[in-house]
Structure 1
Amino acid sequence: MRGKKGRFGYLSGLSRLMPRRTNEWFDPSLIWLRGEATLSEEEEARPTFWAGRIIMLVLGLLLLWRLTNLQIIQGNAHLFMAEGNRVRRQVTLAPRGLIVDRNGVPLATNEPGYALSIVMSELPGNRSQRARVLANVADSQHLPVEELQKKMNKSLVTAYDPIIIQPNLSREQALLYQIRFAAAPGVHVSYMPKRRYNTTLGLSHILGYTADMTEKDRANHPDYYKVSPIGRSGVEASYDHVLRGKEGASEIEIDAVGRPQRVLSETASKVGDTLRLTLDMGLEQETASALLESMQKSGAKHAAAVAMDPKTGGILASVSLPHYDNNVFSGGITSDDYKRLVNDSNRPLLNRTVDGQYSPGSTFKPFVAAAALQEGTISDKTLVDTSVGVIEIGQWRFPDWKTHGLTDVRRAIAESNNIFFYSIGGGWEKVPGLGSERIKKYAHIFGLGQSTGLDYESDASGLIPDPDWKKKIKKETWYIGDTYHMAIGQGDVLATPLQMARGISAIANGGRLLTPHIAAATESPDTSVVTPLTFPESIIPVSPQVLAVIREGMRQTVAADYGSAKALRSLPFSSAGKTGTAQFGTEDKTHAWYVGFAPYENPEIVVAIVVEGAGGGSTYSVPVASRMLSYYMSHR
């Protein structure tokens, strides 16, 4: 039944039955105000009448309290919420600091970049309006709306942070999107600086790259802005705290539909500090070129070389081939491209200078010689008859590459005499051997078999085996042959090029075991504040006299007619070193090694080079060393 129409609409049938004055909307409070005029004395006497009055009084007081609470007590809170609804906080990403070489040559810089993003909390509350905005964004990406929603749902950011929909926009794309989405609440074109890396061969492993933060990153760095990039590998990761800038922010007043009206406040972003490396770009380029030449001549597919300052531990050059282009990461690499890199049989992501573990072959012999001299099992005048050319123990034969005759330790190093090192390592005839435990002890003293403490990534520890290791890992007994192989850097001995450079540096500098590092100093963006970086070092328990003998043997390697690296004596400066031809696998393949330093009298540079599977060190690694040392000595 339709009611009679009053001031506020139609009254229901029930409301027309209730007591009211003519032409007035019914107000329940009138029961109290006009009670005596409408109720009989008999009704007043009823107990329920007073109960009703009490209930109405209590309800009235509660209503009065609620109104007071809303208007006075919570007034400021609601005002704050209203302010929050009309003010948008917009964060400006900070450019990362530059990375430069020792001479200031830029290695990692920033270039302008833009991204299309969505902030969930700013999307329209109205369902149909929200759907129209998302449909517009999906259309711009040539995606179904459902795919866009999935992408948004996978995002790890909060509703108040931007979800990156399309990164790496060109300036032209950014302008077109700004026009297209000018009236779309929650859709933004954000400024996102893009990292740009120098593409010189070998730099990618050193510099690394940046990537979006993961959930673990956010948990570890709760103070980092959630959509800012973070260093993922190399220098970018290890020195992220230096390179990371400080984000800026703006408070922007918006209208009811989310359109910006005016800037209320603004704090500019601050660029990160500059990181100056110990690296010399010229030497880096020369090293890469020399390695490529050697690989082409030998047919090798992989190689690595490192140069180090024996006075400081600073890395002057480091090249691992093949390499990869880290610029593909700065733009956000696709999962397919990343899988291709990971599954590439040539392993371009592997930094062979610090993670490549190889049998060092004869480049290990200087450390064994130092151990024998320091332990007193031989002196620098001890002569060993190595004319037999092979040691036979039962059915096992341990050959040399040629016969040598009576040999002292210096000549044994220079000629790379296997019989001599079998003898001082495992013992033979009248020569007492060091044994595996003492060889291992001195290998550790020179930094092998353990991490170097490198500053820009975790490096491989290599391996110095012993009887316990063989029993545990191989389930086999240790034999004298294992010690013989160990003494010439074969068998299960493994080392990285960086470990070898560090150990040879300790010989070259007179006994200081340094921490290899790539960073030299941090600098404020305007270079007004420069902070040099320092790294620990230790003195090895090997006498200066012993180290001098080893250096003399390495000098003969280059200077003597019988030296295995005599090709280097034509250089216009003095040097010293040790070649290595290290067997690996089961097909008699060999890695070509060379380790050395220059100038001999006052060493400034140490090099360690390995060309995988190339053959002899004299043929394929010594020429690389020649180019590296020559460049450095002519450009220092």
Structure 2
Amino acid sequence: MSWHKVKKAIRRLFFGRSLGGEIDPDEIFLDASNLPQFDTHQFEGRLERPISRGTFFWVVAIFLIIGFVFTGRLWGLQIKDGDAYAKRSERNRLEHTTIFANRGIIYDRKGREMAWNDLNTLGDYALRTYAPVSGIAHLIGYVKYPAKDKMGIYYEDRFIPKGGVEEYFEEDLSGENGLKITETDALGNIQSESLLTPPVDGKNIELSVDMALQEKMYSLIASTVAERSFIAGAGVMMDIHTGEVLAMTSFPEFDSNVMTRGEDDAKIKEYLNNKNNPFLNRAVGGQFIPGSIMKPYIAMGALQEEIIDPLKEILSTGQITIPNPYDPTKKTIFKDWRENGWTDMRRALAVSSNVYFFSIGGGYDGQKGIGIDNIEKYTKMFGFSSLTGIDLDGEKEGNVPSRSWKAENYEDGEWRVGDTYNSSIGQYGFQVTPIQALRAVTSIANGGFLLKPTIVKGNRDIQKKSEFISSPGEYWRILREGLRLSVTEGTAKGLYMPEISVAAKTGTAELGASKSMVNSWVMGYFPYEEPKYAFVVLMEQGPRANQIGATSIMRQLFEWMYAYTPDYVK
């Protein structure tokens, strides 16, 4: 083929026929004269159609698009995300591994382990384990383990504390995780390991509680709930000089080991569906109507205001009557729990005379009362409606009745003398936590020091944080003698024991309009002559007819203490 034909073929290939405009006859016609010159097996001599301009355009466009995409992707990988991919590549080569710190061990006051760490052969961190003892769950709390994603990478590289000591003292218990770097080759083989940051284990904590005593208190509360149809209960005991809590328990409770492991779905569901809320620490977070355990503080208010001689006797015939504020032709009756006869202040505390406290609280039959404003003042002076400051989360403030409280919470917000009467016996407007009741009765035992409770042994800052209730020593003596008389002759006679001298005050708080259910309280201290410890037990919502309640629990606990922990009661 001549050079002239070659050039035409090239032009036709790239530009089609329109560029040339000419067609040689020998490009079209194949005859006998030229056909033998072509190799038909190689498609020679075959008429070819030139590439159109449209086809050429799309071919070029496709190549350009591919080029742009490739260039853009290359820019993204190399420029925009280059650092990130470089780091990822580095991580693939250098693996960073968290070395989990061990949490601090929690001990009771006698050195017994309440929470510790067990070896975990299948994981990267130790297993948190709790003593298999009833009654400590609310105090200790539990933890949730570090969590991995599907790729095995920890998105949560610490223990998550839930309640109790575990949460409140998290900063001390947790420690600091360490970091290890492992270098691998392209096949994943370890080339070297280097400890970048060593872990720092958490600090151990020694609590002030006696685990055995706490377990016994819990078991007595639990059995009384089951046998006497209460729904729940709580108990606390405290050193009246240091504020150290010797025992604190709440029923019902959960199992810290079950919650930490998270494997027993049925048990966890049972906890969550329990209407009596086993996750509520009633000792610090439960708010209850206190009833007659408020009477000593009303008595102190009357002494401070000098409205009555403590030796003056007031007659209780079983009730008092006043005109009905809505219908003066009718009488409103306020009942005593029995006819208590003539009682002075000490005996009124001992037998828990409602009529006596109606009289000094709201005034009656010529006896002036301190009134609601002073009831508010003096009960707040003993720490009610305030946080105690105990080193646990979840504490509640409770409530003290007042004119403003009623105005804010009731459509008919006018305060009446009947409200004052009911407040004088702890039946109206009060909401009290067991730890508040314990703190208040402790101040009676120690002569006016309102301590900040602590669950840590040897916490020397507590005395600095105590408050002092300024009141004549004689007033404190009157209250103490009244509480001792309650044990020897009055409503707390169930706590009379030759071996242990106890001073106490009981309370039976009526619930609801029908008053068929009650909260059963007992508070006090021991030994009476040289007090060391104060206590409070609450039994929540049991039948009014019950003769067995909080006082019975403390009686059984004292008997156990005398046999197994005599140092506490002597």
Equivalent position of 2:334 in the other structure: 398
Please list the CA deviations of residues 430-485 of structure 1 after superposition, one character each: whole Å capped at 9, or x if unmatched: 21111111011111111111211111113111111112111111122221111000
Moved more, 293-302 or 596-605: 293-302
TM-superposed CA distance for 1:582, in Å, is 0.8
Q: Distance in 2 between matches of 1:95 and 1:573?
A: 44
Q: Distance in 1 between matches of 2:203 and 2:546?
A: 42
Moved more, 549-558 or 264-273: 264-273
Match for 2:501: what amino acid?
S
Taking structure 1 as reference, are residues 334 and 457 closer, same or farther at Cα in structure 2, changes over 3 Å only?
A: same
Equivalent position of 1:417 in the other structure: 353
Please list the CA deviations of residues 328-347 of structure 1 after superposition, one character each: whole Å capped at 9, or x if unmatched: 22224688865543332121
Is 2:532 the partner of 1:599?
no
Is 2:435 the partner of 1:495?
no
Q: Distance in 1 between matches of 2:257 and 2:323?
A: 56
Is 2:433 the partner of 1:515?
no
Is 2:139 the partner of 1:211?
no
Is 2:514 the partner of 1:587?
yes
Aligned 1:105-254 pairs, distance under 5 A = 105-113=112-120, 171=121, 174=122, 190-211=123-144, 226-254=156-184
Taking structure 1 as reference, are residues 534 and 591 closer, same or farther at Cα in structure 2, changes over 3 Å only?
A: closer
Equivalent position of 1:312 in the other structure: 242
Match for 1:379: what amino acid?
D
8 A contact 1:107–1:197 mirrored in 2: yes
Q: Distance in 1 between matches of 2:210 and 2:257?
A: 21
Equivalent position of 2:209 in the other structure: 279
Q: Distance in 2 between matches of 1:574 and 1:469?
A: 40
Match for 1:407: what amino acid?
T
Cα RMSD of the aligned pairs, angstroms, is: 2.7
Aligned partner of residue 610 in structure 1, secondary structure: strand
Instruction: Choose the corresponding residue for 1:365, options 295, 299, 324.
Output: 295
Instruction: Choose the corresponding residue for 1:454, options 390, 414, 417.
Output: 390
Moved more, 90-99 or 466-475: 466-475
Taking structure 1 as reference, are residues 404 and 336 closer, same or farther at Cα in structure 2, changes over 3 Å only?
A: closer
Taking structure 1 as reference, are residues 323 and 82 closer, same or farther at Cα in structure 2, changes over 3 Å only?
A: closer
Aligned partner of residue 519 in structure 1, secondary structure: coil
Please list the CA deviations of residues 369-415 of structure 1 after superposition, one character each: whole Å capped at 9, or x if unmatched: 11111111112222222236333433311011122222110000001
Q: Distance in 1 between matches of 2:212 and 2:317?
A: 46
Aligned partner of residue 187 in structure 2, secondary structure: coil
Q: Distance in 2 between matches of 1:623 and 1:269?
A: 50
Aligned partner of residue 613 in structure 1, secondary structure: strand
Q: Distance in 2 between matches of 1:360 and 1:296?
A: 22
Is 2:479 the partner of 1:550?
yes
Match for 2:234: what amino acid?
A
8 A contact 1:450–1:461 mirrored in 2: yes
8 A contact 1:590–1:616 mirrored in 2: no
Structure 2 unpaired stretches of 5+:
1-12, 15-77, 79-83, 148-153, 325-330
Match for 1:559: what amino acid?
T
Equivalent position of 2:101 in the other structure: 94
8 A contact 1:308–1:317 mirrored in 2: yes
TM-superposed CA distance for 1:236, in Å, is 0.6
Match for 2:373: what amino acid?
E
Q: Distance in 2 between matches of 1:270 and 1:405?
A: 68
8 A contact 2:271–2:278 mirrored in 1: yes
TM-superposed CA distance for 1:568, in Å, is 1.8
Aligned partner of residue 455 in structure 1, secondary structure: coil
8 A contact 1:389–1:404 mirrored in 2: no
TM-superposed CA distance for 1:368, in Å, is 0.6
Moved more, 232-241 or 380-389: 380-389
8 A contact 1:593–1:616 mirrored in 2: no
Q: Distance in 2 between matches of 1:82 and 1:625?
A: 67
Aligned 1:377-388 pairs, distance under 5 A = 377-387=307-317
Q: Distance in 2 between matches of 1:279 and 1:78?
A: 55
- TM-score with structure 2 length normalisation? 0.77
Instruction: Choose the corresponding residue for 2:368, options 432, 452, 457.
Output: 432
**Aligned pairs, number:** 470
Q: Distance in 1 between matches of 2:89 and 2:354?
A: 85
Equivalent position of 2:417 in the other structure: 480
Is 2:215 the partner of 1:292?
no
TM-superposed CA distance for 1:269, in Å, is 2.2
Please list the CA deviations of residues 535-588 of structure 1 after superposition, one character each: whole Å capped at 9, or x if unmatched: 61110133322111100000000123xx11112222402110011111011231
TM-superposed CA distance for 1:191, in Å, is 1.2
Aligned partner of residue 157 in structure 2, secondary structure: coil
8 A contact 1:255–1:261 mirrored in 2: yes
- TM-score with structure 1 length normalisation? 0.69
Is 2:504 the partner of 1:567?
no
Q: Distance in 2 between matches of 1:628 and 1:225?
A: 48
Q: Distance in 1 between matches of 2:303 and 2:470?
A: 12
Aligned partner of residue 387 in structure 2, secondary structure: coil
The share of aligned pairs that are identical, in percent, is: 33
